[in-house]
Structure 1
């Protein structure tokens, strides 16, 4: 039997990065195949596939999940309970829309993609379902953060605590999703709804500004200490820098 010796150790950071790569590949590959299907099948074929998927309950996607966490009056409220059949998306359209939301969330949180949710054209076949999911996702993030009892404490927490980075990354995703929902559905919102969406953006931007400022100060301090001791950057500081790159991307995109 051949003898093998270990040449390295997989650290927790390496394992997390491997999972991210697997996730990117799975979501990206699935969306690629679904997009290829849209570009090659005719309308009759797409409807036939859509009917097949509709008969599979495990592929149903529910929206208006934000109703579970919405606590205040809102011009964007949907009166139906989130478990209502009116909020149940069945068929191929919902599957493709969900795949785009999932991949877009990963791009928003872990890359510097300029338009993570709208980087490629949205096919009219699933455009309505995609817009519905984007808005519901943005609403869910907003109300969850607004009602989060930990948020104020996190804003005062020392930035070397990983929870600060986790919340900041979540805010990048939430604000990216909100921007995409506004951009994609601008013609559908009335003036009152647009003002409310704008106020949500201002609120989330304000929280993120506090967290980003704290993280930037921490990285400056670490950089000075590193230059004095000649130590290598840690995985945590690298993660902080990646989050700041995503934040910079958002500002460059005009959001």
Structure 2
């Protein structure tokens, strides 16, 4: 099994919390995956019982339910019409889950999310090492993460500005941040489809596919903003000389669009 790494190109004091969190999740995966894989049924039950008794290892789910409280807004109406809600499992469910599978799933999700945004990894969530005890928790956390990010982006005016190509209102830094988030959520959707796609009803699958397409529109908006922002540089220098920093998948997509002519922008006065 490959080790889970936490590597960064250059130190930045503002990244301290992210670096610490990334390293902690990497350590958790490196320790817990072999522990679970090598345990027999009796040992695994004991591990799970120990972790379940410790409040500090509780994992909270269905965080996206907060969007349903925005009464009177168009977003709240869209949220209520969604087929992807999570419902209480028991009366007065506090949506707190316990067990080693939940801890492992959370570590995998958080570590993978950083991998998507900052590393060039074709398998950011390392699905090949997914253990049986975390499969259901990981699916649930993926879906809740997708819901939370999707509804957050839907309520953000910058998302609308990107889709509409309102370059003057969105800086390149902001565009890349939103693009990184869109890429991350798409990777989460794709991972969810691989491990739990067959469990969704047709209406749910259709909604997830719609979300994926909308995220692609955001990425296209990011490309537009970046090309417009650096238009003068692109005209003076070849695109290979552009210095873009951000999500590797997003930056590669921007460069590819430019090289294939898909990123060309025509403005009034162009011939």
TM-score, normalization: structure 2?
Answer: 0.73
- Residues 72-102 of structure 1 show CA distances to partners (whole Å, capped at 9, x for unaligned) of 2111112439x95363210111100000000
Selected match of 1:183 from 186, 194, 218? 194
Once the two structures are TM-superposed, the CA of residue 221 in structure 1 deviates from its matched residue by 4.0
Distance of aligned partners of 1:24 and 1:223 in 2 relative to their CA distance in 1, 3 Å threshold? farther
* Counterpart Cα distance in 2 of 1:181 and 1:40: 26
- Per the alignment, residue 197 of structure 1 pairs with 208
- Per the alignment, residue 238 of structure 1 pairs with 245
Distance of aligned partners of 1:151 and 1:116 in 2 relative to their CA distance in 1, 3 Å threshold? same
Q: Which stretches of structure 1, 4 residues or longer, exceed 6 Å deviation after superposition?
A: 246-249
Selected match of 1:93 from 90, 98, 101? 101
* Counterpart Cα distance in 2 of 1:74 and 1:37: 39
Selected match of 2:151 from 130, 143, 146? 143
- Per the alignment, residue 69 of structure 1 pairs with 67
Unaligned segments of structure 1, at least 5 residues: 1-11, 250-255
Once the two structures are TM-superposed, the CA of residue 115 in structure 1 deviates from its matched residue by 2.6
Contact conserved, 1:60 with 1:89, CA < 8 A, in 2? yes
Between 153-162 and 171-180, report the one with greater CA deviation: 153-162
Aligned length: 232
Distance of aligned partners of 1:209 and 1:194 in 2 relative to their CA distance in 1, 3 Å threshold? same
Unaligned segments of structure 2, at least 5 residues: 1-9, 69-75, 257-271
TM-score, normalization: structure 1?
Answer: 0.78
Once the two structures are TM-superposed, the CA of residue 238 in structure 1 deviates from its matched residue by 3.0
Contact conserved, 1:113 with 1:246, CA < 8 A, in 2? no
**C-alpha RMSD of the superposition:** 3.2
Once the two structures are TM-superposed, the CA of residue 173 in structure 1 deviates from its matched residue by 1.0
Between 128-137 and 32-41, report the one with greater CA deviation: 32-41
Selected match of 2:47 from 37, 49, 62? 49
